[in-house]
Amino acid sequence: MNVLRKLPIRGQMFLIAALTMGMIIAILLFNYSRSAAFLTKNNEVYTNDMFSQIEQTILSNYDVVKWLTYNVAYNKSIQDYLLDEDPLSKLQRYPTLRNLFINLSTVKPGILDFLIIGKNGETFSLQGSTLSQFNVKMPKKADSYFSAIQTCKNIGLERYCFAVGTNIFSSDIHNNYTNEIGQIILLIDATTLTGGYDIKSLQPGTSVYLLDRNNTIFMSNARDKIGQPFHLPSDEADNGIVQVDGKLQHIQVKELPQIGGKFVRLIPDDVFFKDIRKLRKQTMIALGIGILLMIIPFVLILNNMILPLRKLYHYMRIHHKDDLNKRLDLQGSTEAEVIGIRYNQMLSDVQDLTEQLVDSNERLLKSEIEKKRAEFDFLKSQVNPHFLYNTLDTIRGLASERGVPEIREMTGALSRIFRYSIKGQDTVLLSDEIRIAEAYMNIQMIRFSNRFTFQCDIPESLRSAVVPKMILQPLVENAVYHGLEPRYEQGKLTITAHYDLNSGHDLIVTVSDDGVGIDEKRLARLRYQLHSDRQVKPDAAKSAGVGLMNVHHRLQFHYGHDYGLDIWSKENRGTVVTIRIPVQMEGGANPV
């Protein structure tokens, strides 16, 4: 450093010039590497967008196929046919089944056949298909299970198709109730899943493959490879560079969990880096020209700056530290005068800003309060009772099958929930929340034919506690749809509440179920979101934890970061969600 200080100004300027050129070269090299990374990222984003569109199309068609298999599995005519043990009676039901399948075939283009298989091996098919025609091995508990692609014939045409299998369980409470009585296999054209999505218009040299569960290609922009097996690299990397067919390729692999398949995109290395290599050549040419053009103005600037810098140097040597109330009076070069004037203006601005800052503190505080209130209202609005739509579907299903008192009970409970959800007040009694949870559970127990039970164990002394509105129902809904519903056995949901004697002022409410539970990876993600400051975005509504996140953030906005939700779960053992809030009794009563 001492050597640098003793260098003349001209020498220091040349050193600065050399360092500047070095930095420019380093920046260009860095930009080149970042451009390559940016190209890779853009390619990944493009692939993700393409995959997202294809996945949405497949998911939409998957939902239709699943609805069709469920519609057939629990249709009364199908149930009667599989439960009927009289061969002659079964034969008489054939026209009804045929008409049913013909009507359902018009729901979605690409449906090739329906195949019903009974427990005793008897079959019924719209097009005369048999299980022996296909190399299909369904799992023991098939639920809209997609097989590997098969070769199917329909109206004389040979095409690739999927066999989608679902086990059928008896819904007759008087005859083999909930026992497996058969299986429905739906044959659909493989192209139906993509819904005609155009994957032809891609970057030249780029290949896209949709694979089934055996890694056989069922859709690609390379039409000649459809039906052939695709050999994934041995390391099965989702992203990276691999050797495919003797060529260096950039590969991206995405899972298609709905059908057990994969989405694969391949880009040759020379195609991938074509633009970036062209950019590198142009950059080097521009750098050379830029260096030549910078030499002349650099020499002129060097000579023009030496004298002003020397004047400023002498001024800085004479004047030492002063307080902020003093002003500089620089005489000499234009540069020095401008620096003095601007510096004095800066000191005046600092004093003015300090006074304005003091005056605006109150306004800023009020603005922050309004912002927090808006965030609170936004999160509260996210608690959208979308289960009402599921309930209405259930009511319509019941109305179409039988006119029974359950409909009246469900609509009454639904009406109570709806009126409660649109009431204006922000806080209610815990007993009100319990009544809404009970109304919701009444609907679900009717819907699932009392497949699970509901227990509420809350002392009378705590039922008059004041709590934020709609904090129990979203947790109960999560427990039903993500814990109890996927479980085919009898389940139980329990709500408890007690006064936390350790803290001395907290109310603990738990919502627990003995359902399927949550795997460790997903549980860790939920806990991370609960204990982090990030808020759940509205477009993440498909995630199973959105209801939990909204309730958690509402409680934290209402009571502070020491309160909110906690979650415990174990796969196949159940889930427990705990609410911790301060005790506030109606009328200021003592909870103990």
CATH of 428-532+543-582, one of 3.30.565.10, 3.40.630.30, 2.70.240.10, 1.10.1240.10: 3.30.565.10
How high is the pLDDT of residue 541? Answer: 39
* Angle CA 114–115–119, to nearest 5: 150
What pTM value is reported for the model? 0.43
Partners of 210 in beta bridges: 219, 263
Nearest to residue 122, comparing CAs of 154, 168, 175, 163? 168
3-state SS class at 116: strand
Q: How many helical (H) and strand (E) elements, i.e. helices and strands, does the chain have?
A: 14, 18
Establish how many alpha carbons lie within 13 A of residue 384's alpha carbon, considering only the half-sphere containing its beta carbon: 9
* Angle CA 134–137–142, to nearest 5: 120
What does the block give as tokens for 479? 């427990």
For residues 267 and 206, the answer to whether their CB atoms sit within 8 Å is yes
The CATH number given to 1-320 is 3.30.450.220
How high is the pLDDT of residue 468? Answer: 92
Phi, psi of 85 (to 5 degrees): -100, 0
Contacts of residue 516, defined as CB under 8 A and 6 or more positions apart, other chains included, come to 482, 483, 486, 487, 571, 572
Low-confidence ranges of the chain (pLDDT < 50): 315, 320-321, 367, 374, 378, 381-383, 385-386, 389, 538-544
DSSP string, 137-160: ---TT-SSEE-S-EEEEETTEEEE
How high is the pLDDT of residue 202? Answer: 59
Angle between helices 546-559 and 334-381 (to 10 degrees): 110
Per-residue H/E/C for 461-501: HHCCEEEECCCCHHHHHHHHHHHHCCCCCCEEEEEEEEEEC
Give per-residue pLDDT as tens, 284-315. 788 788 788 777 776 666 655 566 556 555 54
Distance CA 217, CA 9 (A): 71
Angle between helices 94-105 and 9-73 (to 10 degrees): 160
Contacts of residue 416, defined as CB under 8 A and 6 or more positions apart, other chains included, come to 435, 436, 439
Separation in Å, CA 134 to CA 115, 148, 519:
12, 10, 35
Give per-residue pLDDT as tens, 39-87. 777 777 777 777 788 888 888 888 888 888 888 888 888 888 888 888 8
In one letter, which amino acid is 222? A
Burial of 533 (0-12, 13-18, 19+ CB in 10 A): exposed
Q: Any idea where the domains of the chain sit in the sequence?
A: 1-320, 323-382, 383-423, 428-532+543-582
The alpha-carbon radius of gyration of the chain (Å, integer) is 35
